[in-house]
Amino acid sequence: MGDARTTDFKSTDKLHRRGLLFILSSPSGAGKTTLSRMLLAADPDIKLSVSATTRPPRPGEEDGVHYHFVDDSEFDRMIDEDEFYEWAEVFGHRYGTPKGHIRAGLKDGQDYLFDIDWQGTQQLYQKDQQDVVSVFILPPSLTELRRRLEERAQDSDDVIDSRMERARAEISHWAEYDYVVINDDVDECFERVCEILDAERMRRTRQTGLIPFVRELMGG
């Protein structure tokens, strides 16, 4: 992958367009978090959708930056008041996507990045299908996936076994996504993800500025 993309990223679209909800999903350890960070660093036109979660912060995580860390009672309140696009329970903790200013931002052409699982993706599709673009990241093999989980040295063997079991279940939903990319080499995988995002931004149906542009073109 060339360094130019991370230092001189330029959006290819010139006309006004509607924003999109860009989903990256993968089993734990397959690379979606790394790819998300790379995309946010490379592309100033996309923002991270910050989820609310009931799990405690991990080392280096900041409230409001990586997640909104809330207790169970606050999460229950947000569900009752319909403040989530989607929410799900993962490994005993709940995660949800607050609606916040996302809908208004989409109209202004703002893109949002979502790091959510297949359950959250289904819920998001149900509520806002026209704006969703979903990408599933596959590991090159389950052996490599386990090696990556062990290399992180964050979890016990029992937890890794649970993650591997869940990974098999998550991979079974690969066909429900718009795109599927194998993460054998992270730089090459990142290029594919960027190509998908660029192409989806240029969809005719998202180019809301095309109608007035063509009218002016034909009138001139």
**CA-based nearest residue to 68, from 55, 87, 82:** 55
Give the range among 5-9, 12-16, 203-207 with minimum mean pLDDT.
Answer: 5-9
Mean pLDDT on 63-77: 93
Residue with tokens 């229950």: 76
Question: What pLDDT does residue 11 have?
Answer: 45
**CA-based nearest residue to 118, from 82, 166, 84:** 166
- The C-alpha atoms of residue 136 and residue 171 are separated, in whole angstroms, by 9
- The C-alpha atoms of residue 60 and residue 33 are separated, in whole angstroms, by 14
Mean pLDDT on 122-137: 92
Q: What is the DSSP string of 61-130?
A: --BTTTBEE--HHHHHHHHHTT-EEEEEEETTEEEEEE-TTHHHHHHTT-EEEEE--HHHHHHHHHHHGG
Mean pLDDT on 107-126: 90
In words, the CATH class of domain 45-111 is alpha beta
List all residues 6 or more positions away from 41 whose beta carbon is below 8 Å from its beta carbon.
6
**CA-based nearest residue to 116, from 202, 21, 13:** 21
Question: What pLDDT does residue 34 have?
Answer: 93
Band the pLDDT of 4: cuts 50, 70, 90: very low
For the chain, give the percent of residues with pLDDT over 70. 93
Strand partners, 25: 136
Structure tokens at 183: 């993460």
Band the pLDDT of 220: cuts 50, 70, 90: low
Does residue 9 register a pLDDT over 50? Answer: no
Question: What pLDDT does residue 104 have?
Answer: 84
For the chain, give the percent of residues with pLDDT over 90. 62
Max CA separation in the chain (angstroms)? 69
Residue ranges per domain, the chain? 45-111, 133-213
Does residue 19 register a pLDDT over 80? Answer: yes
pTM of the predicted model, to two decimals?
0.79
| CATH node for 133-213 | 3.40.50.300
Residue 26 DSSP class:
-
Burial class of 218 by CB neighbour count within 10 A (0 to 12, 13 to 18, 19+): exposed
